[in-house]
A and B are shown apart, each in its own frame.
Chain A
């Protein structure tokens, strides 16, 4: 670094020298940072219970990536959601599922490096789109979920915020809650509006059906442009769901479904099947 000073007398020089001396640590820090640090954080995008997501730039390739920083609970080593997310994402290689580029440790904190997309499904639905784009998105989401289920993995957090859209193609993200099928699991997963009735009734032997329920809600949301069940609490949500016990009639009487094709209603009806709820009530 060179500083050229023209036409200056001794006192000015002395002042500048003093300032430079004071900020020399900062200058050295930035000069060394560019060599050691591969990713530079640009801004914070989101925050959750698991950690913080940053938008960042790769210094070497000048690519924009998303950095997911895990809050390390101070005394538990690698957090369990990170363990699950990394080992599950490493297994999945599909065009409609987010790719894990690498995982790095900065300042003893675990960071996941992933591709960056700037629009999610909720934002995407705020604008008007061609019908075949929407159909394509639904189809691709179904394919991706089938791909996950074939590998005995349950996503457990399907919601429009976790589906990103790039060039009218969906990408599934956030596998922090997902896990391999096992006989005993926690019921408190998925966002409330997309939570299946078996989860709402605190059952811990559920299976892939909970993902299908969320999918049904998402598909209806894409068609109607507003969420299907908007409960304010778990009880309220169950009451809303109870309305559709006689599925077909409910769909017929509900005016908002009038514009939809019969086949499409069948698709939603299959996803939000109520076999489980009928068992509870009877």
Chain B
């Protein structure tokens, strides 16, 4: 399973309860989230559900340590799944190159300070050079019809929480009881 933890420093008026609640809903969402099972291969060489999970957990670590927006992780997820759905070209061998390019693309789309290319190369332990990443990036971008703006539940969750917080500003911290 995915281990995704949030710290909610950017949302004002947080309490321990808010954080608990937020993580609870998020865990629930991640478990229930539909895996694109029909596009994951089952043989040894391919890209299966287990491999995807392992990769996503690695992505969470990276996005945390490079201080990206929380929503960036979800965008990377959607891009990766959409790309696999359209091309079914991801194998175990090119998973890291594809994922890294997805991350680079999503970070440029969504972050205040986007990931630089030398950072991306550093993340890959110098396995890929910049031309390789640029080429893959352009391929993914064209393949998705130039559309990176996926709506994800994280965004709705944030909006919902914001709305709620603005409504109950003076009512205290009973946020569990929505």
Q: Which residues of A contact B (CB under 8 A)?
A: 75-80, 83-84, 86-88, 90-91, 103, 152, 179-186, 204-205
Give the interface SS of chain A, mostly helix, strand, loop or mixed: loop
Determine the distance from Cα of A91 to Cα of B149 in the docked complex, in whole angstroms.
8
| Option from B11, B130, B133, B146 in Cβ contact (under 8 Å) with A90 | B146
Q: Which residues of B contact A (CB under 8 A)?
A: 10-12, 69-71, 104-105, 108-110, 112, 114, 116-117, 130, 133-134, 137-138, 141, 145-149, 151, 155, 158-159
In this complex, which of A86, A152, A182 has the most chain B Cβ atoms within 10 angstroms of its Cβ?
A182
Query: Is B112 a contact partner of A185 (Cβ separation < 8 A)?
Result: yes
Query: Is B148 a contact partner of A78 (Cβ separation < 8 A)?
Result: no
Minimum CB–CB distance from A199 to chain B (whole Å) comes to 14
Query: Is A83 a contact partner of B108 (Cβ separation < 8 A)?
Result: yes
Which chain A positions have C-beta within 8 A of B116?
Answer: 76
Query: Is B155 a contact partner of A181 (Cβ separation < 8 A)?
Result: yes
Which chain B positions have C-beta within 8 A of A88?
Answer: 149
Query: Is B141 a contact partner of A83 (Cβ separation < 8 A)?
Result: yes
Minimum CB–CB distance from A175 to chain B (whole Å) comes to 11
Minimum CB–CB distance from B64 to chain A (whole Å) comes to 14
Determine the distance from Cα of A88 to Cα of B151 in the docked complex, in whole angstroms.
12
| Option from B108, B138, B145 in Cβ contact (under 8 Å) with A80 | B108
Minimum CB–CB distance from B15 to chain A (whole Å) comes to 17
Closest 5 pairs (CB-CB, A-B): A80-B108, A87-B148, A77-B134, A86-B146, A87-B149
Q: Which residue of B lies closest to A205 (CB)?
A: B10
Determine the distance from Cα of A76 to Cα of B116 in the docked complex, in whole angstroms.
7
| Option from B104, B130, B147 in Cβ contact (under 8 Å) with A91 | B147
Determine the distance from Cα of A138 to Cα of B152 in the docked complex, in whole angstroms.
33
Query: Is B146 a contact partner of A152 (Cβ separation < 8 A)?
Result: no
